[in-house]
Structure 1
Amino acid sequence: MKKKTEKKIKKLENKAEKKNKRHFFKKKKSKTDQIIRIEELEALMEQEGGDVDPEKIVSMYRPHRKRRQIGAALLRLDKLSLALLAMLVTVGVLFAAAFMQEKMGNFTINLDRLEMYRRGISIADNGDFKGATARLTAAMVKDATNISIEDLPDDLDDHEGAHNGKNYMAYTYFVRNAGKIDLSYKARITLDSCSKGAENAVRIAVWRNGDKMIYAEPAKDGKPEKDCTNFLSDDVVCEYNEDSFLVGNVDKYTIVIWMEGDDPECVDSIIGGSVEMSMHIDTDFDDDTSLLWKFVTDIKDTLNKNKPINAAGNEAPNDSYYTDKEVTWKTRRNQ
C-alpha cells in the first residue's frame, strides 16, 4: 500500500514538473512573440495610426533584404541609366576578355566610310576586289616569340589577304578608286596599345606598291635601329600621303609585324607582352556639305544612272573609269 502511494506521489510530481516546463516554454514563446520585423512594424503603424506597444522588440532582419534593395534601386533607374549600366558591364567584360589574351599583331584597316567609301574608295584583301568593304581585320598571332628579320620569307609581298607565319603577322590588302572623282588620301599606321615594353622590340615592315620600308622605335641612344626608320611619334608608326589618287588607280599594301630577336631591347621581361596597331585611310579634303544633301545627291545619281555609288553596301562601282572591264589590281590605271 505504501509503495502504491509513493508511486502516485512521484507520478503527480512528474506531471507537475512537465506542466511547469510547458508553462515556462509558453512564457518564453510569448516573449519571443513580442519581436516584430521592420515591415511588420510599418504595417502596424499604418493600421493603428502610429500607436504601437513601445515594449515590442524590433528586429532589423529582413529576409532577402539585399536582393530586394538592389532590385528596388534598379527599378528606380530610368531607361537611359539602365542602358548606360548595361554598356558599362559589357565594356568591362570585353576588356577583361581582351586583357586575358596574349597576342601580337592584332591589326585592323579602317576606311573613312562617310567621306571616302561613298565616293567609291574601297579596300579588299584581294586584287579582284571581291567583297570590297570599308574595314578589314588581320588574323592575330597568339603567343608569338621573337624572330630575326633574316628568317622572314622573301616573298611576303607576293600574297593576298592574311598569310601569317610562325612568330610573325603578314597581311596584304588593296585600296581602289572606282568612284566619280580624283582625290587624295592619307594612310597612317597607329600604335593603339602595348604592354611590357613590347613596342621597343617590335618591327613593322610596309610594302607600298612594291616599295619596302621598315619601322621601329628609336634605339636607347635615340638613333634609328639598323636598317629601320624611326616611328613618327609615340603613337604613330608611319604615314603615307597619296596626292593624286586618280579614278581607276589601285594601291597595294603589305604589312608585316614581328618581334626582332636581334634588338638589344628584346629581353625576357617582354615575354607575354602585346602590341595592337591599326591603319586608318582618310582624305584631307574639306567638304562642308550636309549629310542629308549628300544622301539626296547619291539618290539622284542612282536614278539618273550617273555612276551610282552604293554607300550602304559593300560593293563599289566599277564603271567609272573603264567601260568594258572592272577596276582591279591587274587592270589598274597606275601600272
Structure 2
Amino acid sequence: MKWKKDRKEKKKSKKKSDQIIRIEELEEIIEKYGDDVDPETIVSMYVPHRQPKRLGAALLRMDKLHLVLLGMMLVVCILFIIAFSQEKMGNFTINLNRLELYRRGISISETGEFDDATAKLTANSVKDATNISIEDLPEDVDGVERGSHNGKNYMAYTYYVRNAGKEDLGYIAKITLDSCAKGAEKAVRVAVWKNGERVVYAAPAKSGDAENGCENFESKEIVCSYHEKDFLVGNVDRYTIVIWMEGDDPECVDSIIGGSVQFSMHIDSDADDNTSLVWKFVKDIKDTLTGDKPINAAGNDAPNDSYYSDKEITWENRRNK
C-alpha cells in the first residue's frame, strides 16, 4: 500500500493510535491509490469552516423568492429596533432633589393622598402622535386627579408636591428640553397647570415674538420655571403637564414628521446649603434619637406639628387651600 508508506515516511514519530485523517484527505487518498485503505485508520469528521460553508451552500440553494423574503424580514427587524428606540423618546420624568428636599420632608406623588410618596416619577409616552390644535384638548384635562392620562396625540400627567417636613422653605421647579430631533421643538406646546392656573409655553416664532396665546421658552434648554418662595409646612401644590404638537404653528411642517422631543421637570431647593453631607446625616440621626420632629424617609408622615398633629397632609386638607 503505497499511500500508507508515504504517510509513514511523513509521520514516523507518530503512534498508530494517532493516525487520524480528515475526510478531505481520505478522498484524495482513495482517488490516488484506490480503495485500499487501512480499516484501522481513524477518520475525522471535522471540516474546517464547516458552518460558514454549510450556510453559504444553503443560501445558494434558496431561490430568489426566499432570498427576497429573508431580506424583507431583516429590514422589518431593523425598523422594529429603530421604532422601539424612538418609542422611548417622549417620556416625561419628574425628579426631586433627594439631598436638599426629600430628606427634609418634601415629596412628590401621583396621588393627592401621597400613598406612594417618592422622589422620582415617570409619565407614559405617547405612541404614533401627530399634530393637533389646542382646541382639541379636553376642557377638563386638568380635572383628572392622578398620574398619566394621555389622550389621542397628546401627553398629560398630573402629580403633587408636598411639604411634610418641619420647616418652611422654598423650591424651584424647572421643565427642561432634554432632547429633540428634526426641529420638532419648534412646533411643540407645553401647557402647565399649577393649582388650576394654566400657562402655555412654546419656542419663539421666527420673528422672535411669542406664539399666539403662549409664553416663550426661557431658553433653548429651559421651557419654564416656577419659584415657590413660601412653601410652608402643610402646603401641597398640584401640577398638570400637557405636551402636544401644535398643528396651527407655522413651523409645524412636513419636515418635522418623525421628529421627537423629550422633557423633564426638576424640583430643587431655592437656597444653597453649604453644610457638609456628613453633618446633615448626623443631624438627622440626632433628631431621630431625641424625637425632635424626626422625618420619615419616604415623606409619608407629617412631623408632630401643632397644625397637623393628628393627621397626614393630603391635597384635601392642605394648608394652602
TM class by smaller structure: 0.7 to 0.9
Aligned position for 1:172: 158
1:75-123: CA deviation from partner (whole Å, max 9, x where unpaired)? xxxxxxxxxxxxxxxxxxxxx8797323664100000001101111111
Matches of 1:256 and 1:103 in 2, distance apart?
18
- 8 A Cα contact 2:191 2:201, kept in partner: yes
Aligned position for 2:213: 227
Aligned position for 2:59: none
- 8 A Cα contact 1:132 1:314, kept in partner: yes
Matched ranges for 1:250-265 at <5 A:
250-265=236-251
Matches of 1:269 and 1:240 in 2, distance apart?
33
Q: Choose from 269, 276, 282 the match for 1:283.
A: 269
Matches of 1:203 and 1:323 in 2, distance apart?
43
- Residues 1:26 and 1:325: Cα distance change in structure 2 (over 3 Å): closer
Q: Which residue identity lines up with residue 201 of structure 2 in the other structure?
A: Y
Look up the SS of the partner of 1:220 in the other structure: coil
- Report the aligned-residue RMSD: 2.5
- 8 A Cα contact 1:105 1:257, kept in partner: no
Q: Which residue identity lines up with residue 266 of structure 2 in the other structure?
A: H
Q: Which residue identity lines up with residue 116 of structure 1 in the other structure?
A: L
- 8 A Cα contact 2:301 2:312, kept in partner: no
Q: Which residue identity lines up with residue 275 of structure 2 in the other structure?
A: T
Aligned position for 1:67: none
Aligned position for 1:150: 135
Matches of 1:273 and 1:119 in 2, distance apart?
40
Structure 1 unaligned residues grouped into runs of 5+: 1-17, 34-62, 65-95
* 1:124 has 2:105 as partner: no
1:152-194: CA deviation from partner (whole Å, max 9, x where unpaired)? 0011111121111111000011111110111111000000001
- 8 A Cα contact 1:103 1:275, kept in partner: no
* 1:326 has 2:312 as partner: yes
Q: CA deviation at 1:325?
A: 2.0
Q: Choose from 172, 190, 209 the match for 1:186.
A: 172
Aligned position for 1:270: 256
1:3-50: CA deviation from partner (whole Å, max 9, x where unpaired)? xxxxxxxxxxxxxxx75x6666666x469x9xxxxxxxxxxxxxxxxx
- 8 A Cα contact 1:199 1:217, kept in partner: yes
Matches of 2:267 and 2:313 in 1, distance apart?
19
Matches of 2:289 and 2:125 in 1, distance apart?
43
Matches of 1:327 and 1:132 in 2, distance apart?
11
Matches of 2:84 and 2:138 in 1, distance apart?
31
TM-score (norm 1): 0.70
Q: CA deviation at 1:272?
A: 1.7
Matches of 2:98 and 2:109 in 1, distance apart?
14
- 8 A Cα contact 2:234 2:319, kept in partner: yes
Matched ranges for 1:288-303 at <5 A:
288-303=274-289
- 8 A Cα contact 1:121 1:316, kept in partner: no
Structure 2 unaligned residues grouped into runs of 5+: 15-47, 50-80
Matches of 2:186 and 2:138 in 1, distance apart?
23
* 1:305 has 2:255 as partner: no
- Residues 1:147 and 1:116: Cα distance change in structure 2 (over 3 Å): same
Aligned position for 1:91: none
1:268-318: CA deviation from partner (whole Å, max 9, x where unpaired)? 22222111100000012122222222112112211222221133x463535
Q: Which residue identity lines up with residue 243 of structure 2 in the other structure?
A: I
Q: Choose from 101, 106, 115 the match for 2:86.
A: 101
Q: What percentage of residue pairs aligned between the two structures are identical? A: 68
Matches of 1:103 and 1:118 in 2, distance apart?
30
Matches of 1:304 and 1:30 in 2, distance apart?
89
Matches of 1:241 and 1:114 in 2, distance apart?
19
Look up the SS of the partner of 1:142 in the other structure: coil
TM-score (norm 2): 0.73
Q: Which residue identity lines up with residue 207 of structure 1 in the other structure?
A: W
Instruction: Please identify the structure whose Cα radius of gyration is greater.
Output: 1
Matched ranges for 1:83-102 at <5 A:
100-102=85-87
Matches of 2:252 and 2:152 in 1, distance apart?
17
